[in-house]
Amino acid sequence: MANNTVFISYSREDTDFMRQLKARLEQEGITVWVDENIKGGSTWDNIIEEALSTSDSIIVVMSKASVSSRMVMNEVSYGIEEDKGVIPVMVEECKIPFRLRRIQFIDFIEDFDKGVVGVLDALDRSGPATTPKADPIIAPTTPGGPEVVTERIVSPPPPEPPVTPSAEAPKAAPNNKKNNNLALIIGAALVVIILAITLIVVFGEEEEDPSDDIIPPSVEEVAWKKAETSNTVEGYVSYANLFPIEASKKEKDIKAAISDIFPKTGYLQYSESNGTKLFTRVYPMSQLSGPPEVGDVLSSIHARRIRGNSYGETGYDTVYRLSKVGERVVVKEVIPSGSAYWIKIGYRD
């Protein structure tokens, strides 16, 4: 990578996207700094300024929230003024700030993986410009409308006409006409030859190497295949943490696969009548509050008896074994019991 330290400027509303992008960049060996790294008691502005000054590039997450954020715009201005490599990435349709209109943004709206490829390419190409950029032209707009910035195109000066003696011009005209015709014939022949060679090379390569049409799998597809192959709770949870957007689309498949990993069933008390929870949620991370749901993966906070049924039901007095602190189970049924909850779980020996 041309740059090895990246500062991500974002709005709090885009935290999930930031974490996903940060994880992907760190997989590529890139050092990423975000303001979640700030320890308690630190002076916020000083830490931010130091991180900006030591970063090689600044990735700006553009959304409706971030373009309205004074802090994000201050970080953008600093990056431009200090000649950092500023890389805007768009996560939702929004008005592009004036100071970023001359910088090509990378689109993450349609395809996250293509966006990551664009960022990696931009980091490879970032650095001091080798040629000066032409001054922009601001096109006139209607009052109150947005300014349109385009690049100034400078045409080269026209070639000077050849100088020939005026007295010999009438005699040279017939020879020039013949020479021009000959040049046209030769030029046309060369074009035909070049076109024929190009067609032979292009079609010849396609016939010799049909594998050119094969599209390699994306990073996300490789990670999903790895999770399926491992067929472990840890594998699926790791995939969901790295690719939360894609994991949300596969949530039904992930929950079904995890449920099959826990062959035995029993009953545990999920919460007490005063609301105290006896478990923490491991998956999905998007559902951190409220009662448990079928398919949730939970981690036990306290050792509890795994029973044959919920409280007050036949089989309640049957105890299979004690759960272990930190043991993971999967929810197969949620049973309200007054102001508390019992859950039917899947567990392993």
In angstroms, the CA 237 to CA 241 distance is: 6
Q: What is the pLDDT of residue 338?
A: 83
Start-to-end Cα distance in the chain: 47
Q: Indicate the average pLDDT of the chain.
A: 81
Q: What is the pLDDT of residue 198?
A: 65
Q: Is the pLDDT of residue 27 over 70?
A: yes
Yes or no: say if 285 and 240 are a contact pair by the CB < 8 Å rule. yes
In angstroms, the CA 298 to CA 326 distance is: 9
Q: What is the pLDDT of residue 156?
A: 45
Q: What is the pLDDT of residue 180?
A: 62
Yes or no: say if 297 and 287 are a contact pair by the CB < 8 Å rule. no
In angstroms, the CA 106 to CA 244 distance is: 20
Q: Is the pLDDT of residue 243 over 80?
A: yes
- The mean pLDDT value for 167-195 works out to 62
**Which H or E run contains 340?**
strand 340-347
For residue 270, which phi and psi values (nearest 5 degrees)? -85, -40
Q: Is the pLDDT of residue 190 over 90?
A: no
Q: Token pair for residue 330?
A: 């999967």
Domain with CATH 3.40.50.10140 in the chain: 5-125
In angstroms, the CA 270 to CA 47 distance is: 42
In angstroms, the CA 158 to CA 162 distance is: 12
Yes or no: say if 48 and 35 are a contact pair by the CB < 8 Å rule. yes
In this structure, which topology does domain 5-125 adopt according to CATH?
Rossmann fold (3.40.50)
- Give the ranges where the chain is alpha helix by DSSP (H): 15-27, 44-54, 70-81, 112-125, 169-208, 219-230, 233-242, 244-249, 251-261
- What percent of the chain has pLDDT above 70? 74
Q: Is the pLDDT of residue 270 over 80?
A: yes
Q: Is the pLDDT of residue 13 over 60?
A: yes
- The mean pLDDT value for 95-99 works out to 92
Least confident of 49-58, 277-286, 316-325: 277-286
Q: Is the pLDDT of residue 195 over 80?
A: no
| Bridge partners (DSSP) listed for residue 346 | 265, 330
pTM of the model: 0.39
- The mean pLDDT value for 124-135 works out to 48
Q: What is the pLDDT of residue 44?
A: 75
Least confident of 7-21, 186-200, 285-299: 186-200
Encoded amino acid at 229, one letter: T
